[in-house]
Structure 1
Amino acid sequence: MKTPLSMLLITSMLGISSNSWLFLWLMIEINTPMFSFMLSSTKENPKNPLNYFIIQSLTSLTMFIILISTMTKYPTTLSNKTLNISMHMIAFIKMGLMPTHNWMMNMMKSMKKTSLSTLMTVQKILPLKITSMITTSQIIQSILLMNLILSSITIMQTTKTNHLLLMSSIHNISWTTLNIQSLTKISTLFFTIYSLMTISLISNLSLTNKTSLNLPNKNSNINLIISIMAISGLPPMWGFMSKFMMIQSMYLSNTPTLTLLTLLNSSILMLSGYLKLCYNMMMTNTKMKTKIPKNSPWLLISNLISPSMIILI
């Protein structure tokens, strides 16, 4: 599994370091079979590698056709509004944003820790690069704001871990995509923090073997609860600090008030949903032992010291 994961990281880094559309497409083409091979090597659901490969290949083929036809007419840039929207939608499908998220939801039901962490983090990098290279129209901004609102509402109604992770992904990726062109450095930091929080949460969910967060579990631990609080945006943890920096930067760059209010309201809804999950976890089993697993103290430490590290940055 180490070789496919290494190739995924290499293709992602090479892709984001180039401004060539064809080179980016080539890295995506190499990346797709590598992740499919990674899924097949972990002996998970045999349908997952094929489903992933088909969806990614179809979107990549569409992307290639658009690039070839566009470069013939517009050699320097993708300036046509329709083509910009098409490229954004390709990236949204690849990342599993609403309303094209069902394929990812079905895959996540049977994925193991490493594959799931990779899908939620590393596999978002190249699609995000696509969105950073084209202008974000008002239509795309509206779609992203709807993703923020719907994911926040959904998180308040779910206790399934795969729903939790997917809605969290949609929420945070929407934040990143909204600002990745105008606030590239802040968006990159935001995505990095999201990735670390997601890996921490998935690791803790794996340690407790929980598929539903409102079911009693003797192995539930304080580390899992803190990971959920961190990704929820509860002050002063990772999620809060990253969103605070993003909102501050957007305000200074004269972002429309309606957009800022939508971001703030969706974050409050998301926080309420996560706190409800934490309450359910603690109250469904009043004798739950909140212990720190001996094999993962670094996860707890990283969640606790992160706010101080961000302030220093």
Structure 2
Amino acid sequence: MKMNSTSFLFLNTMMLGIMVSLSSNNWMMIWSGMEISMMSFIPLISTKMILSNESSVKYFIVQSISSSIMMLGVMMMMMSFNEVYKSILMISLIIKTGMFPFQNWVMTIVEGMSYQSLFLLFSMLKIPPITVLSYLNPNLEMFSLINLLVGGILGLNQTSIRKMLAYSSVFNMGFMLAATKSVSVWFTYFMIYSFMLYMILYSLAKLNVNFINQMIINEFNMNSKIQLWINMLSLGGMPPMLGFLSKMLVLQLMINSNQLILAIIMVFSSLMITFFYIRLTYLSMMVYSICMKWYKLTSKLSLNLMTMNLFLMLVFVLMKPLT
């Protein structure tokens, strides 16, 4: 996705659609905002990659189906089907976000998308559906638990980095669903997750890495490997990095809500995700690497990212008593 005037126009239109959905007070305007963002995102998928056109068509078909289901739920709400319309709206929103059991369409389109488009798909486009789910106030404990397990287990045997990040998105959606009861916790988790995801995708785009074996075979600069490793550990929730803060807030919310089983599942699924990241980076830096292991960190970007991941969490924890 090259940032020319056309891409900039569609990006602004997509953000406008998201803002329309968030600021609306009726279902028709929420639906219209989602449609505007969806139609603006489709041209941003188109790249020089062979599968980009296929990915854009699949994305359009799936989003059209979910929008039709959403309109069906709105019409049933107007006809006073009290319990049925909530279930139909939930199904449409789950399809839009690519959560379990409708995560397969995401896995089929990520291979034809650039890393810039993946960032928009995994972060910005999920804001309206999750916000609408919080409006419905359903019991999402079971959905959260299943997404945590599916994202953690199925992400272990992936060789494509794009699919690995897609299952990581499914895993993080489990945390976001559990935190929808508290707007501040959910929004804090989303902002930290988006920040870490952007750093990882930026590093992968610079290295031009698409599969795991490229990290193992190619001899990248040790600074780049350590930078990517620290970002992945932060995304997995390894303390004392920034990613642990967001998961700690959700775990605290679950414990205060007496949802202890869900909190335990969150911890164990986070261990699975962190194990995968550690295995990948350990192989690339230690076992199959011919670089000197005492190589000094001279890159300013690597040092800055290490500092942000290690000390931002401490800053937020110290600021918490002030709020």
Does the 8 Å contact 1:159/1:213 carry over to 2? yes
How well do the aligned residues superpose, as a CA RMSD in angstroms?
2.2
Matched, 1:60 2:59: no
Task: Confirm or deny that 1:173 pairs with 2:173.
Answer: yes
One-letter amino acid of the structure 1 residue matched with residue 285 of structure 2:
M
Does the CA contact (< 8 Å) of 1:190 and 1:243 recur in 2? yes
Take 1:250 and 1:17, find their aligned partners in 2: how far apart are those partners? 28
Given that residues 155 and 270 in structure 1 are in contact (C-alpha distance below 8 angstroms), is that contact kept between their aligned partners in structure 2?
A: yes
Instruction: State the SS of the aligned residue for 2:212.
Output: coil
Distance in 2 separating the partners of 1:242 and 1:3 = 33
TM-score by length of 1: 0.88
Give the 3 Å change call, closer, same or farther, for CA 249–23 of structure 1 in structure 2: same
Q: Which has the higher contact order (CA 8 A, sep 6+)?
A: 1
**Counterpart mapping for 1:1-313 below 5 A:** 1-40=7-46, 42-44=47-49, 45-73=52-80, 79-80=82-83, 82-137=84-139, 140-180=140-180, 182-214=181-213, 215-219=216-220, 221=224, 222-252=226-256, 254-288=257-291, 299-311=305-317, 312=319
Structure 2 unmatched ranges of 5 or more: 1-6
Gaps of 5+ in 1: none
Identity rate, percent = 26
TM-score (norm 2): 0.86
Structure-2 change in CA distance of 1:151 and 1:86 (3 Å) = same
Rounded to whole Å, the distance in 1 between the matches of 2:119 and 2:197 is 7
In the superposition, relative to structure 1, how do residues 296 and 51 fare at CA in structure 2: closer, same or farther (>3 Å)? farther
Greater share of helix? 2
The range that moved more, 128-137 or 213-222, is 213-222
Offset at 1:273?
Answer: 2.2
Q: Aligned pair in 2 of structure 1 residues 86, 286: CA closer, same or farther (>3 Å)?
A: same
Check the 8 A contact 1:15/1:24 in 2, yes or no. yes
CA-to-aligned-CA distance 1:41-62 (integer Å, 9 cap, x gap)? x344212222111111111111
Contact 2:235 2:243 in 1 (8 A): yes
Contact residue 54 and residue 112 of structure 2 kept, 8 A: no
Over 3 Å counting, the alpha-carbon distance change for 1:292 and 1:153 in structure 2 is farther
How many residues are paired up? Answer: 303
Cα deviation code 1:82-105 (max 9, x no counterpart): 332322221121111122112111
Question: Structure 2: how far apart are the matches of 1:73 and 1:122?
Answer: 32
Give the Cα–Cα distance (whole angstroms) in 2 for the partners of residues 197 and 37 of structure 1.
25
Q: Is the 8 A contact 1:173 1:191 kept in 2?
A: no
